[in-house]
Structure 1
Amino acid sequence: MDKRLLTCVSLCKGRVIADIGTDHGYLPCYMAAEGLCDKAYACDVAEKPLESAAAHIAENGLESKVTPILSCGLEKVPNDGLTDIVIAGMGGELIVRILEDCRWLTSAEPAINLVLQPMTKWDTLRQWLYSNGFEVTAENPCISGRFVYSVMQAVYTGKTPDYPCDLRYLFCGRVKADDDDGREYLQRQAVRLEACAKGKQASGDDDTAGEMQALSKTIREECE
């Protein structure tokens, strides 16, 4: 288990989890073996990864706790008693499609805890969550190898969150510069902002370019 997946585990709250895009099933097997959940679903859209997950489950004697499910997103996942959904290691646009296609997600009682870790298009995911009644209650960055990831914890409230959906939120989410992981994540986002600002400037959008450059400078100062 790498730090990225352990960060996802740390944001799970309940006892019945579904890991979407489980690959080898490391996360649900770890949680079951460590007593962090009572039941887990290891879900994948492809048969080969699911076979690997099933083998990993059997090797660890976890058949009674972890169930492999061939499913496109959440389509075949039982929602009775489900407390947590983990979707990690995918692009933000794909995560959005999976959430959009789940008909019961916004009517679940109590609300399901979402743990989301986008590899790309984090701004698309943050915008969609904000616009569709999901509040990001926590966002934990983590350095894993050469990469820095952000893991979001979100819950459906049906209301517009009380934080602004501005440029900073879209690029940096709710990450703060209060530890090495947070500072590294924010510094890399500052670099991305500078690159985007150059593109905006080249296209004649000087106002947006200026806003991006100013935000990049602010973030860098916070990380000093």
Structure 2
Amino acid sequence: MNLSKRLRMVADSVTKGNVVADVGCDHAYISIYLVEGKIAPKTIALDVNEGPLLRAQENIISYGMENLITTRLSDGLHMLKPNEVDSIVIAGMGGALMIRILEEGSECVAAAKELILQPQSEIWRVREYLHNLNFEITKEDMCIDEGKYYTVLYAQPQSRGCTSLLQENRDSFCEEREVTKDAEELYNRYGRYLLENKHPVLQQFLEKERAKAYQIRENLESISTLKNRERYAELLKEIEMLEDALQYYRS
């Protein structure tokens, strides 16, 4: 199974040997990739719409994986039981919808060993939600696929996350450190792991956003209205955050 760059980034984040719930499975490409590559012994492919689920079933049959991939018509995690899977994968949907799915499937989420999430929007809200849920984002990755930027978040319950990181000699990531409100906002918006590891795709994204922000600022400076002044103040804050984020690449 050949996956797009963004879907492969998601699938390759799954821990080998884990049973996986593929939420919003669409054509079941991720499930097929995981089973075919012997990353997952089996998966449960879930989708809220009958059409995509039917196409998923057809693809699963064509790969001869009916005994390894189960399909379920399900709104989010509603048709999944706690402890049925080790990993929950949710990709290709907005952050607000993703948060709703996690909230409504809280029992399954609490029992999971890991969450692999690829929000299409409002990534900062998902990061914030995971923090409030006591999940540790222990890794993130970014890629550009067909001209668009995509981010994948890998999260574990905090105790498990720190144990895992200690095993990888990255215990500093789990230490209790003072984080200012501004730093926390920066981490939620752009990703602490990406910033501290100076991810090159994030740098490209930040530089592009900074150039765009400065151009908008220049345009706003020539037109003085109340609405523009309010937007100008917001823009200055955005520029400050972008500059703070890019400072990681200069140190």
Conserved? CA contact 2:80–2:108, under 8 Å: no
Matched, 1:18 2:36: no
Shift of 1:201: 7.1
The 3-state SS of whatever aligns with 1:219 is helix
- How much has 1:132 moved relative to structure 2? 2.3
Task: Report the alpha carbon displacement of residue 133 of structure 1 after superposing the two structures with TM.
Answer: 1.4
Aligned with residue 98 of structure 1, among 101, 105, 108: 101
Deviation track 1:106-150 (CA, whole Å, cap 9, x = no partner) reads: 542xx4200000001112111211222121111101111111111
CA gap 1:57/1:63 in 2 versus in 1, 3 angstroms: same
Q: Secondary structure at the match of 2:76?
A: coil
Letter in 1 for 2:202: G
Q: How much has 1:213 moved relative to structure 2? A: 1.9
The match for 1:212 is: 238
2:98 partner letter: I
Change (3 A) 1:29 1:191: farther
Give the secondary-structure state (helix, strand or coil) at the position aligned to 2:101: helix
Matched-pair contact (CA < 8 Å) for 2:186–2:245:
no
2:43–2:69: 8 Å Cα contact kept in structure 1?
yes
* Contact 1:190 1:215 survives alignment (8 Å): no
Alpha-carbon distance between aligned partners in 1 of 2:123 and 2:211, rounded to the nearest angstrom:
15
Q: Which of 26, 30, 34 is equivalent to 1:31?
A: 34
Instruction: Describe the SS at the equivalent of 2:46.
Output: strand
Identity of aligned residues (%): 29
**For residue 187 of structure 2, what is the aligned residue in structure 1?**
169
SS of 1:120 mapped into structure 2: coil
Aligned residue type for 1:41: I
Gaps of 5+ in 2: 162-173, 221-225
Match of 1:52, SS state, is helix
CA gap 1:217/1:69 in 2 versus in 1, 3 angstroms: same
How far the C-alpha of 1:223 sits from its partner, in A, is 5.2
Question: Following TM superposition, by how much is the alpha carbon of 1:192 offset from its aligned partner in structure 2, in angstroms?
Answer: 7.3
User: Are 1:18 and 1:43, in contact at CA under 8 Å, matched by a contact in 2?
Assistant: yes
Helix, strand or coil for the counterpart of 1:104? helix
Normalized per residue, which structure has more helix? 2
Other structure's SS at 1:203 match: helix
**Do the aligned residues in 1 keep the contact of 2:18 with 2:40 (CA within 8 Å)?**
yes
Shift of 1:183: 2.3
Which structure 1 residue ranges, 5 or more long, are not aligned? none
CA distance in 1, matches of 2:242, 2:204: 13
Look up the SS of the partner of 2:83 in the other structure.
Answer: coil
User: Aligned partner of 1:130: which letter?
Assistant: H
Alignment of 1:1-224 (within 5 A): 1-13=3-15, 14-105=17-108, 107-108=110-111, 111-157=112-158, 166-174=184-192, 175-176=194-195, 178-190=198-210, 202-203=229-230, 206=233, 209-220=235-246, 222=248
Letter in 1 for 2:7: L
Letter in 2 for 1:11: S
In 2, Cα distance between equivalents of 1:17 and 1:95: 17
TM score, norm. by length of structure 1: 0.84
Shift of 1:10: 1.7
CA distance in 1, matches of 2:143, 2:105: 28
For residues 84-124 of structure 1, what are the alpha-carbon distances to aligned partners after superposition, in whole Å with 9 as ceiling and x for unaligned?
1000000000000000001313542xx42000000011121
Change in 2 beyond 3 A, CA 1:11/1:204: closer
Letter of the 1:31 counterpart: L
